[in-house]
Amino acid sequence: MPKARGGVDVKTAGSYERIWAVVRRIPAGRVATYGQVARIAGLGGAARLVGYALHALPEKGHGVPWQRVINSQGRISQRGLGGPEEVQRRLLEREGVHFDLRDRVDLARFGWTGRRAQ
């Protein structure tokens, strides 16, 4: 199986696999935006697809830290009634990610650089 930077399996068919592979690289205590993940996964501006891929993630999550992906405003994207937004926030707070009074994360502090944990 051919691999490339970061050990991401490039040959795998669907974009989902690639997206999940990128998300798995996000270290605990850090967050990345949908657009950022899309770009690193080689999907250009398909930020929306990232959300779509995470939504299609099996419950087990395959060990993918889906909670570390938030939108460019530093907020948890809402997906409707009964969504796991609360769980996501709790998981992040447990990793040390701080939410301000407006439920936003300071991307300048907790944003993932795409390289290593700062």
Partner DNA sequence: ATGCTGACTATGT
Partner DNA sequence: TACATAGCCAGCA
Helices (H), the chain: 15-23, 34-40, 47-55, 85-94, 107-110
Chain residues 51-70 in contact with DNA, contact rule CB under 7 A: 51-52, 54-55, 57, 66-67, 69
Q: Is 16 in the site for DNA (CB under 7 A)?
A: yes
Max CA pair span of the chain: 46
Label the pairing between strands 32-33 and 69-70. parallel
Q: Is 12 in the site for DNA (CB under 7 A)?
A: no
List of residues contacting DNA (CB under 7 A): 14-16, 33-36, 43-52, 54-55, 57, 66-67, 69, 71-73, 77-80, 84, 88, 102
